Structure 1
Amino acid sequence: MGRSLMENKDVRGKSVGKNFEEMGLRELPRYWWYAWFTASMGQFVDAYDTLIIGAALLYLIPIMSLTAVQTGLLAASAFIGVAIGAPVFGRFADRVGRRFLYIFDLVFLVVFGLLSGLVVNFIQLFITRLLVGIGVGGDYALSPTLVAEYAPAKRRGFALASMNSFWGIGSVVGFLTAYGLAVSLGSNPDLAWRVMLASEAIWGLVVILLRSKILESPRWAAIRAQLGEKKREDESLDVVEKLSGSRDSTISTGAAKKPSIRDLFTGKMWLVTLFIWVWWPIFDIAAYGSNLYTPYITAGLGLTTKADAFLASALYWVIALFGYYTAAFYYDRIGRRIMVIAGSLVMGIDMLVGWAIYDIMKVFPFLAVMALFSIYYYFMNFGPGPYTVTFAELWPTRIRGTGVGLAATFSRIGAAASAFVIPSIIKAIGFGGAFLLLGGTILFVALWSYFLMPETARLTQDQIEDKLPKGQFK
């Protein structure tokens, strides 16, 4: 199909240089790990932002006398921003490149994260949180896209799943920060929530500085060079040399065409796009329903202080990290599909067991709470959690930013709905209702994945583009 870049051959017709797609982790240079780390830190700041508002809400609800609707709107505000920012940044990234936008998107987090700690009322806080979300949305589109295009096919699953583990690290750091502030500023709750929200600006600034040294995506630049943008050829060759040690290395780019949204629906690709547009928002109802309100649920189930609720929530995420690393180890070995289905099934059963226990006992012993959420978080990140970034590999390079960005918009519908509805559900029908909602939605994810999820482990970009439009999904 003529879509591989820099496939030089000698007089006997044999390829010269390395095949980048077959490189293992030990062969990858420091620059690759540095690029992977800067993208992973996007997951870190997203998690920190999400979890820190969940912690701050414990203070904001009494201080601002928030209603259940206002609480839900604040929790959902950043998600609404993501729904706006992700497709806009993603679309521009397909047209002008990944690198500049990859640095610029977190400026929103720095500026409006800081301002969110200085507001004086609900409306101001909602607006600043919305604008923070727009920047985070840009990172939703760009970070997975860049890692998918920097990673060799042989270990792309590891690169993406391990990148997503930084969501867990950001969660742990977020809850430990909240715990430290709750202990040190417990006598001044108005200052505590302000410092919590403003602290995310520090992390955003750190990541911007780290990303200033990152080069353009080699696959995107190669396609643009084939379309006539000659200045992109050296740009792509420079990155390939940094990644593989040779400018003559073979790297799979996918078809060299101008980006068109129609490519998301070509042939049977519409089934892949539909699969993600349904899968991600439903998964996010289960994921964010627990992520945002873990301290709230934990406190409601028996832990009497905010600090204890934050500490217990951090412990859940320490357990969850082992789930991420299990996924990173096996995603390229046994495939994405079986791990997503298995993880979702266990999560659903776990929540239904929690509902049954709570329905019978009307109270949870502390150890039972810890066990319930530890299992839930481990299996969330054993399978479906890492897939929220891994499916960036599904779409062609030329339209990947748009594909991931639009998918993120649909995902935020689920996340925002969960953030908005959970407080009302708990208020109306108690914690048992929350368990049923979380369990039911994640069991739907398992069923949907069984019928429509494609397997793309170890496939090159050319192979994925050959396979998916033809409907070879399993």
Structure 2
Amino acid sequence: MSSVTTPASFETDVPARLDRLPWSRFHWLVVVALGITWILDGLEVTLVGSLAGAIHQSPSLRLTETQVGLTASAYLLGAVGGSLFFGWLTDRLGRKKLFTVTLLVYLVATICTGLSWDFWSFAFFRFLTGAGIGGEYAAVNSTIQELIPARRRGVTDLAVNGTFWAGAAFGALGAVVLLDPVVIDPELGWRLAFGIGGALSLIVLLLRRWLPESPRWLMTHGRPEEAAAILRDIEAQVEREHGPLPPVQGRPIRLNPRSGTSLAEVATTLFRTYPRRAVLGVVLMACQAFCYNAVFFTYALVLTKFYGISAASIGWFMLPFALGNLAGPLILGHFFDSIGRRPMITATYALAGLLMAATGYAFAQGWLSAVEQTAAWTVIFFFASAAASAAYLTVGESFPLEMRAMGIAIFYAIGTGVGGVAGPALFGALIQGGERTDIFWGYLLGASLMLIAAATEWKLGFAAERKSLEDVAAPLSSA
């Protein structure tokens, strides 16, 4: 590394050297070991969605439809608190330490969920599970964006976020097997289902041992020598795979050493330096969170109450829904790097909103069977999944390195708190009321929010495609 240290500042070309690396086994390790976060979250959300009928009928829990919705809200409240707390620690203590701690929190909590004995214990363990996942979002999103080359950041970030739905598909299939009374007693099956995430977490803990601390985090915290050593190791791995590396483009940047960023500085940066990006982040995150959590957390209840689908069969309806969501970011992701962030985010939010309104009306009129309803949601969330993944990409790219994890946490918390917590509770109450028209108004509200998000992106969106993170938002430590 070309680094010059002075008493006041130092120069570093860490960003340029990371961005020039060809795609390699190292990048696959980053994607697999850290991207598991979204698989675990998708697994958790789908398990509760697919298991909602069995949990509702469980002789030991006997949760009402409203209580099922409230436990989903408890999970999201935990995610909000966990993202803020662990996000703050991630920016202060480093990415590597925190993505280990948050995974351990999740592992213990999800296993304890399977041991719940009443509504309050179930809700409490769901809260802790959410706290672990929320912390993962902050630590993992920031790390992935800092280690992936700029030219591949968009497609990689969308694909990784989209793997939420690989977890969802896994959860749906697991629920089908574990709720089949021929295979196992459903009362035991739904409890064992929560052990799936715990088993995956143990494997991921081993993979994460091989990941280094983010060189970008080290350089902005006054530790250029450590950043240099880690970067040399990464470059050596890539050179063994691809041969000599391409030349470094651009000049080094000069940074002032600093140990941390205060909350006051975070607030000033968000709402004074980048107010338009702050508004954009809130709108994108809140709107997609409402739609996703309102629909997905309660869809099993819609299937059982309005279509007479048995609890044991819910997983078969969740599976195509999950696969459509997985396909969206994978198929559309590269357009966010080629066509650009602003046009693609606008288009995906708008299409999802329009289709959601039409499907809600068809549901209210009773025109759709359970299969047709599921097919409609599969198409809608093909676009909505790419839009939601792009929301996380946007808030991660929008702000300086020193507060990236906290920035992600704040917007995740605001979006989830405003849109995600209210959505499942509202839809749970609407479903319990038993009127299709009431549920239609909920769907129409979600569609309107997606269209508002599309308009906001068109007005406030900015070009970040193929640009270094430091060019999109200069580090706070820039000299």
TM-score range, shorter chain: 0.7 to 0.9
Measure, in 2, the Cα distance between the counterparts of 1:69 and 1:278: 27
Cross-structure match for 1:61: 56
Query: What secondary structure, in the 3-state scheme, does the structure 2 residue paired with 1:383 have?
Result: helix
Q: Which amino acid aligns with 2:56?
A: I
Q: CA separation in 2, counterparts of 1:287 and 1:370?
A: 14
Q: 1:41 aligns with which of 30, 33, 36?
A: 36
Report 1:56-455 matches (<5 A): 56-63=51-58, 64-183=61-180, 188-224=185-221, 227=222, 230-239=225-234, 241-242=236-237, 256=256, 257=258, 258-261=260-263, 262-263=265-266, 265-266=268-269, 267-302=272-307, 304-360=309-365, 362-413=366-417, 414-428=419-433, 429-430=435-436, 431-455=439-463
In 1, distance between residues paired with 2:395 and 2:236? 26
Question: How much does 1:149 deviate?
Answer: 0.2
1:220, 1:444 → 2: CA distance?
35
> d(CA) in 2 for partners of 1:269 and 1:242?
37
How far is 1:271 from its partner? 2.3
Which residue identity is paired with 2:410?
A: L
Match of 2:8 in 1: none
CA distance in 2, matches of 1:368, 1:276: 34
Whole-angstrom CA distance in 2 between matches of 1:95 and 1:238: 24
Change over 3 Å in CA distance of 1:301–1:343 after alignment to 2: farther
CA distance in 1, matches of 2:307, 2:144: 41
Residues 80 and 253 (structure 1), Cα distance of their counterparts in 2 relative to 1, 3 Å cut: farther
Amino acid in structure 1 at the alignment position of 2:90? A
Q: Which runs of 5+ in 1 are unaligned?
A: 9-14, 469-474
- Given residue 215 of structure 2, which amino acid in structure 1 is its aligned partner? P
Aligned equivalents of 2:363, 2:230: Cα separation in 1: 59
SS at match of 1:183: coil
CA distance in 2 between partners of 1:278 and 1:18 (Å): 30
Shift of 1:375: 1.2
1:426 Cα deviation from its structure 2 partner? 2.3
Contact kept in structure 2, 1:17 and 1:246, CA below 8 Å:
no
Q: Shift in Å at residue 467 of structure 1?
A: 12
> Aligned pairs, how many?
453
Aligned counterpart for 1:31 among listed residues 15, 20, 26: 26
3-state DSSP of counterpart to 2:163: helix
Distance change in 2, residues 1:109/1:17 (3 Å): closer
Q: TM-score, with normalisation over the residues of structure 1?
A: 0.87
Q: How much has 1:390 moved relative to structure 2? A: 4.7
Task: Give how far 1:355 is off.
Answer: 2.5
Q: Give the AA of the match of 1:259.
A: T
* Superposition deviation, residue 328 in structure 1: 2.1
CA–CA distance in structure 1, aligned partners of residues 146 and 379 of structure 2: 33
* Structure 2, unaligned runs of 5 or more: 5-11
TM-score of the two chains, using structure 2 as the length reference: 0.86
Residue number among 446, 469, 478 corresponding to 1:461 in the alignment: 469
Greater shift in the superposed pair: 380-389 or 120-129: 380-389
1:323 Cα deviation after fit: 0.8
Give the fraction of aligned pairs with identical amino acids, expressed as a percent.
20
CA offsets 1:289-308 (integer angstroms, 9 cap, x no match): 12222322233442522233
Aligned 8 A contact 1:83 1:412 in 2: yes
**Is contact 2:285–2:415 with CA below 8 Å preserved after alignment?**
yes
Local SS of the residue matching 2:342 = helix
CA contact (8 A) 2:317 2:371 kept: no
Name the amino acid aligned to 2:450: I
